[in-house]
Structure 1
Amino acid sequence: MLHALSRTRLLVLAGWLSGLATAHAEPASEPPPFILGISTHLMNVERPVEAPLKLAAEAGFSAVKDDVFWSTAEPKRNELRIIPQWRRYLEQANSLQLERLAILGYSTHFHDNAKPRTPEVTGPFLNYVDYVSRQLGNRVSYYEIWNEWDLQGPRDRQLAQDYAALVRKTVPVLRANTQAAPGNKALILAGAVTPEGMDHGFADQLIDSDTLALVDGLSIHPYVHCAGNNGRTPEAWGRWVSDYEENIRNKAGRAIPIYLTEVGWPSHKGACGVSEMTQALYMARIWFLARSIPNVKGMWWYDLYNDGPDRFDQEHNFGILNEDLSPKPAWTMMRAIAPVVRDFAYNAEASVVSGPTYQLYFSNGQQRVLVAWTVGKPLELGLISHAPVQGPVRLLDTRRAANGEVASEQSWQCAGEHCTASVRLDDFPKIIRLTP
């Protein structure tokens, strides 16, 4: 949990710095890197993949996500295939060292587009899963079983039970094919739970039936861009997802790896939309908040590029790139913050929150940074450090993300080993360097 901030908003860094150095002296093992993912719409359309995937990698993403549609793999009954576009996509992503998440799901017209809830549909679905996972194996890093199954009835207990049953039948097929394939073993995710499903306990059936024990993580889609006024902020998002993780952990009686496989904020004109700059701002705060939530292993932003040119259509405007692949402010923002989000470890004990003010601490070896912002009225944040930090305060102001880290006008004032500085905070996070 994040601790309360002192009234003076002065944070004594000395104890944290010395404690952190001790804690990192002999690490038992390095935690797996946090996954910076991005959704793409490239596998099922005839579109070049090299340029958009390169832009994803340049922005700092470490993983991509797309669909291996059942209807694409089986356009005619009992005629299964892997289309060339799938192979091009996976090969290009791999060459850029991007992990690959593939969604297994959606039905076919010759099954009346029905979910696999009956033997007549489940059998062919498992044949499709078997074929695809034998062909692609560990070229896929993560297999996600279906997408937003709960959408048609987040309170429907039978729907949840049927999904749990499908997961129990699908996992052995995936395990057999990926364990037999060369390379790192693909992980299996289940859930893809919508916001309504999160609020109404859709994942409870996965826990009650012990189905979550069969997979490598629970995936959720925590959107809040159309939530009520009290929930439509990155900070409300952080509290909601944190509470959800705690509820899942308590119900399961153990830590459950959680993967945020779809999160986004559209920049359209109209209800639920924000400006492109606000989209970038909210994205930055959400990424940092995601790092502060226990057992969250990664997040996939939705999505890479706009799906169309209509600025009044929500679905056309989730991208961090325009439809012609020109960068939006969110792409520039992501490139600026990615090194900290991806490569630095979050320090919960040092991090503090008081009302609208957030101070989140991260480290990478001997490098330490403070990510800080306040929502609403700007304020002066006073820092006290006994570390030998001298000269100008170096920081990255995400309001001007393209500038990268710069020497600010503020300087550390030191008397012996006692140093102080002051930084003005606003709603754009500042990444403040705490080490030389």
Structure 2
Amino acid sequence: MKRIESLFLLVIILSLCLNSCGPSPSPAATPQAPTRTSLQPTATIASPTPTKIPQGETIIVTSTADSGPGTLRQALQDAQPGDIIAFDTFVFPPDVPVTIYPDSELPPINQGHLTIDASDAGVILDGRNIPGEFIPGLQVMSNGNTIRGLQVINFSGAGIVLSGGAQKNMIGGDRGIGSGPLGQGNLTSNNTMGIGIWDVGTDINIITGNLVGTDASGKEDRGNRGSGIWITDGVGNKIGPDNVLSYNAEAGIQILSSNSFGNTITQNHIFKNGVFGIHLMDGGNEELMAPAIFDFDLSAGFLTGAACANCTIEIFSDSNNEGEYYEGRTIADSNGAFMFDKGASFTGPHLTATVTDTSGNTSQLSTPTSGTRVSLILQEGNDLPKTLLRTKRSGELEDNRIGCQWDSLAQFDLRGIINGELFGQGLKRVRLAANGISWDHIDWDIPEFTIDPSVDDLLSTIAENDVTITYVLSFWDKAGEKGENCPRFTTEEEIQRYLDFVSFIVRHFKDRVQYFEIWNEPDIGVCVQRIELDDYINLVRQVISVIRQEYPEATVEVGGTTNPSGAESRSYLFGILSSDIMPLVDAVSWHMGPSVSPEYELWRAYYYEYPSLVQEIKDVASSNGFTGEYIADELTWWTAESVPVYEQYMGTYSEFVSAKYYARGIILNLGMDITIGVGGSGPDRKISFSTIRNLSTIMAGAKPISLPMEIQSDATNMASYAFSLSNGDHLVALWTDGVAVEDDPGISTTLTFPGLSAQEVIGMDVLYGFEQQLMVEIENGNLVVHDLLVKDYPIILRFINPISQ
């Protein structure tokens, strides 16, 4: 229990910081569990040996008291296998439910084959009076039990828990059967989580017809404080049909750990949860890739898409990005292509889908559609099949020079999201500090010359997965002047304290950290962080010596300035670039800035001058002896839902438009040979997250090159960059560089590559996550791509085995 409590509380914390083929059996059926194995579970499993269920008695609950004769507690203590616990409808009338308030944790259900049936009564189990933490409402620790018709609310743990190897249990049923307000379904709301399934061996259970996070009407917010349903280490469980999972603060359904697989989620109503509809984490359900919807027409009720081969796809409508209304199901062909025709209009306004593979794993919900009718076309007249882009995790990829940033490790234990935001997104760089990169993430109670073991473990895990770490050497002088001597580092005493800190950090982390960055945003106007330019340059000279003494092979990074759109920030950055420290350092960085686009007048000039500004940065740095790496951090495009209050004035975008600008910013910088770090793009930002994940895989090992290309198009403002991959393939990315819109059909374009041939050319859509072989011709010794639709986000062409004449 303590392990599950800590795991769950971790996910709650992280949310504050910041992704079988045949008909499903009826609820009465007993599913078969996949074999527990380190390999992919097999689809065919021998039927379990039937268990003889003993004939029991019916125990009637006649009292609302916590304990004593006739109470639920006494019934749970007295019940034997095969018994039924029912409720006196005169005491618990179905039309006016009555509440039981336990004063302590109820006995666990250890008997097996026990039925608790309130389907004809009105019973509320309210845990508000129970002291202690993470106390469940009902805990099932045996096999073959059924719980139906209860309302379980206000518990510090889960409303209902299956644990300790409990198998073949039924939680819920048909809400249309029974005279109680829920029928056979249960309600689990306003608990820490709704329903929990955990521990190895807690397998092949059915959760159906329940209301999780809402009231008895299924419409009002009574959300659980975490996830609606949480599964960890459970195999072959079935969630559905007809559960309503809404208003839960974390996910509707969360499946955690590689020991959790074969869990099927089918025909539920999932909507208005805090972060995710369905969230697979840390290998849960093998992190099966969600399907992609390519073409759809809401009024016609028709769509096409791609998923895993021979898998079952379920279609949903939702007001946002979850799955409130179940529309139907279809099966993908042997290539993964699927088509669905409802025969009537979709509910809309957005469509999503899940896929369930032949081993019973169900994916997260797909990227939602936008608009009423869309046909995703890369090339006019191209009817060749579209397939999913297959992404990889960080440890499987070459360096893609794409990273993220964690402002503080001291405030939150971030281990749980390593597998999501970092490894799951395929990022190869991370920028961090143990206790606050910037002034607004300082915990003054944590000493600076002590490293918490959890921080050590975190950095070790990152390094073991081949991710490059940049440690930002921010120092708040907590044991000295606490940053009150402003601006910073004007006295030798303060400088010496900083040098001691640098020596301590570098010595401690040098076996895991490759980059050490000397300060973050020294040009900012905040007292505790501000360093005057001359003082910064003087400080860097001394810090370099300390770093080299402790770790000669370290990459020393300077700069880290605020976005150079303004004169003061630009002057500060160029002051560094023009100084005599440049031959001594290995990397220079700046922050590109939040929400930079041509849509807002605040950013328009800066957006279009950025490439020439980068070239000027390179020219000045190299002229002063610099030969190292250039880095642009904090590439962020906020939505109205994600933007911090203090950055709202900078502009916000829809989730689709934001994802387009992320894609532009990444390719733009990589195309200029700039390493980049993104911000604000965690798994809760589903479209931006998946777009960056696609780019992380595509751009692995990519290096910018000059590739001759002729463009014939009506587009007046087109950007393009070319890259080579380590296997010799080439990439070309291009987009129209105006204001991005929600749905851009693209502009027909012909590309000619003089003297180039290739085995084949693959077009890749990074926003929607699919690829398609393009039709090409060789004309006069040149490779020509006709009728390519160039859009307002990067479309990427991959040339397989290219040969230049």
TM, length-normalised to structure 2: 0.42
Matching of residue 134 in structure 1 with residue 522 in structure 2: no
Cα offset for 1:207?
A: 4.2
**Mapping for residues 348-427 of structure 1, pairs under 5 Å:** 348-350=706-708, 355-364=716-725, 365-376=727-738, 378-384=746-752, 387-389=756-758, 394-401=762-769, 403=770, 405-407=771-773, 411-414=775-778, 420-422=784-786, 423-427=788-792
Cα offset for 1:103?
A: 0.8
Q: What CA distance in whole angstroms lies between the structure 1 residues aligned with 2:582 and 2:710?
A: 33
**Mapping for residues 35-434 of structure 1, pairs under 5 Å:** 35-41=401-407, 43-69=409-435, 75=446, 80-109=449-478, 110-114=480-484, 115-152=488-525, 159-179=532-552, 185-195=553-563, 196=566, 199-223=569-593, 225=595, 229=601, 231-232=603-604, 236=608, 238-239=610-611, 241-249=613-621, 252=624, 255=627, 257-268=629-640, 271=649, 272-294=651-673, 296=674, 298-302=675-679, 318-322=680-684, 328-350=686-708, 355-364=716-725, 365-376=727-738, 378-384=746-752, 387-389=756-758, 394-401=762-769, 403=770, 405-407=771-773, 411-414=775-778, 420-422=784-786, 423-434=788-799
Calculate the aligned-residue CA RMSD, in Å: 3.4
Q: Show CA shifts across 1:72-94 (max 9, x none).
A: 69945xx8211122202111101
- Give the direction of change, closer, same or farther, for the CA distance of 1:274–1:301 in structure 2 (3 Å limit): same
Query: Which amino acid in 2 is paired with 1:397?
Result: D
Task: Give the secondary structure class of the aligned counterpart of 1:58.
Answer: coil
379-388 or 139-148, which deviates more:
379-388
Q: What CA distance in whole angstroms lies between the structure 1 residues aligned with 2:457 and 2:421?
A: 16
Task: Give the secondary structure class of the aligned counterpart of 2:469.
Answer: strand
Task: Give the secondary structure class of the aligned counterpart of 1:258.
Answer: strand
Cα offset for 1:320?
A: 3.2
- Give the direction of change, closer, same or farther, for the CA distance of 1:48–1:261 in structure 2 (3 Å limit): closer
230-239 or 355-364, which deviates more:
230-239
Query: Which amino acid in 1 is paired with 2:791?
Result: D
Q: Show CA shifts across 1:173-230 (max 9, x none).
A: 1111113xxxxx3211111111247753213443454122222121111215268527
Query: Which amino acid in 2 is paired with 1:62?
Result: K
Q: What CA distance in whole angstroms lies between the structure 1 residues aligned with 2:557 and 2:710?
A: 32
Contact 1:149 1:192 (C-alpha < 8 Å) held by counterparts: yes
Cα offset for 1:141?
A: 1.3
Contact 1:245 1:258 (C-alpha < 8 Å) held by counterparts: no
Query: Which amino acid in 2 is paired with 1:164?
Result: I
Contact 1:141 1:187 (C-alpha < 8 Å) held by counterparts: yes
Task: Give the secondary structure class of the aligned counterpart of 1:173.
Answer: helix
- Give the direction of change, closer, same or farther, for the CA distance of 1:158–1:300 in structure 2 (3 Å limit): closer
Contact 2:583 2:624 (C-alpha < 8 Å) held by counterparts: no
Cα offset for 1:407?
A: 3.2
Contact 2:658 2:688 (C-alpha < 8 Å) held by counterparts: yes
Cα offset for 1:160?
A: 0.1
Cα offset for 1:283?
A: 0.9
| Residue 23 (structure 1) aligns with | none
- Give the direction of change, closer, same or farther, for the CA distance of 1:173–1:74 in structure 2 (3 Å limit): farther
| Residue 315 (structure 1) aligns with | none
Query: Which amino acid in 2 is paired with 1:426?
Result: K
Contact 1:340 1:362 (C-alpha < 8 Å) held by counterparts: no
Contact 1:372 1:425 (C-alpha < 8 Å) held by counterparts: yes
Q: What CA distance in whole angstroms lies between the structure 2 residues aligned with 1:204 and 1:95?
A: 37
Cα offset for 1:284?
A: 0.8
Q: What CA distance in whole angstroms lies between the structure 2 residues aligned with 1:107 and 1:418?
A: 60
Unaligned runs of 5+ in 1: 1-31, 180-184, 303-317
Cα offset for 1:396?
A: 0.8
Identical residues among aligned pairs (%): 18
Contact 1:194 1:221 (C-alpha < 8 Å) held by counterparts: yes
Cα offset for 1:387?
A: 4.7
Task: Give the secondary structure class of the aligned counterpart of 2:665.
Answer: helix
Query: Which amino acid in 1 is paired with 2:657?
Result: T
How many residues are paired up?
A: 370
Query: Which amino acid in 1 is paired with 2:690?
Result: T
- Give the direction of change, closer, same or farther, for the CA distance of 1:111–1:276 in structure 2 (3 Å limit): same
- Give the direction of change, closer, same or farther, for the CA distance of 1:414–1:160 in structure 2 (3 Å limit): closer
Query: Which amino acid in 2 is paired with 1:412?
Result: V
- Give the direction of change, closer, same or farther, for the CA distance of 1:101–1:381 in structure 2 (3 Å limit): same
- Give the direction of change, closer, same or farther, for the CA distance of 1:111–1:82 in structure 2 (3 Å limit): same
Query: Which amino acid in 1 is paired with 2:730?
Result: R
Cα offset for 1:395?
A: 0.8
Contact 2:759 2:799 (C-alpha < 8 Å) held by counterparts: no
Unaligned runs of 5+ in 2: 1-397, 437-441, 642-647, 739-743
**Mapping for residues 13-32 of structure 1, pairs under 5 Å:** none
- Give the direction of change, closer, same or farther, for the CA distance of 1:73–1:343 in structure 2 (3 Å limit): farther
Q: What CA distance in whole angstroms lies between the structure 2 residues aligned with 1:276 and 1:282?
A: 10
Cα offset for 1:124?
A: 1.5
- Give the direction of change, closer, same or farther, for the CA distance of 1:240–1:199 in structure 2 (3 Å limit): farther
Contact 1:268 1:274 (C-alpha < 8 Å) held by counterparts: yes
Task: Give the secondary structure class of the aligned counterpart of 1:69.
Answer: coil
- Give the direction of change, closer, same or farther, for the CA distance of 1:133–1:369 in structure 2 (3 Å limit): closer
Q: What CA distance in whole angstroms lies between the structure 2 residues aligned with 1:118 and 1:74?
A: 25
Of structures 1 and 2, the one scoring higher in RCO (CA 8 A, sep 6+) is: 1
Task: Give the secondary structure class of the aligned counterpart of 1:149.
Answer: coil
Query: Which amino acid in 2 is paired with 1:138?
Result: D
Whose radius of gyration is greater, 1 or 2?
A: 2
Q: Show CA shifts across 1:345-383 (max 9, x none).
A: 212353679851123222223312221211358422213
Q: What CA distance in whole angstroms lies between the structure 1 residues aligned with 2:573 and 2:449?
A: 31
Query: Which amino acid in 2 is paired with 1:162?
Result: D
Q: What CA distance in whole angstroms lies between the structure 1 residues aligned with 2:747 and 2:608?
A: 21
Query: Which amino acid in 1 is paired with 2:466?
Result: Q
Q: What CA distance in whole angstroms lies between the structure 1 residues aligned with 2:748 and 2:609?
A: 25
Cα offset for 1:100?
A: 0.9
Contact 1:197 1:203 (C-alpha < 8 Å) held by counterparts: no
- Give the direction of change, closer, same or farther, for the CA distance of 1:81–1:338 in structure 2 (3 Å limit): same
Task: Give the secondary structure class of the aligned counterpart of 2:708.
Answer: strand
Task: Give the secondary structure class of the aligned counterpart of 1:350.
Answer: coil
- Give the direction of change, closer, same or farther, for the CA distance of 1:256–1:232 in structure 2 (3 Å limit): farther
- Give the direction of change, closer, same or farther, for the CA distance of 1:256–1:396 in structure 2 (3 Å limit): same
Cα offset for 1:148?
A: 0.4
| Residue 27 (structure 1) aligns with | none
Task: Give the secondary structure class of the aligned counterpart of 2:603.
Answer: coil
Contact 1:372 1:430 (C-alpha < 8 Å) held by counterparts: yes
Q: Show CA shifts across 1:390-413 (max 9, x none).
A: 77x531123312x2x2235xx224
- Give the direction of change, closer, same or farther, for the CA distance of 1:388–1:351 in structure 2 (3 Å limit): closer
Query: Which amino acid in 1 is paired with 2:694?
Result: A
Task: Give the secondary structure class of the aligned counterpart of 2:538.
Answer: helix
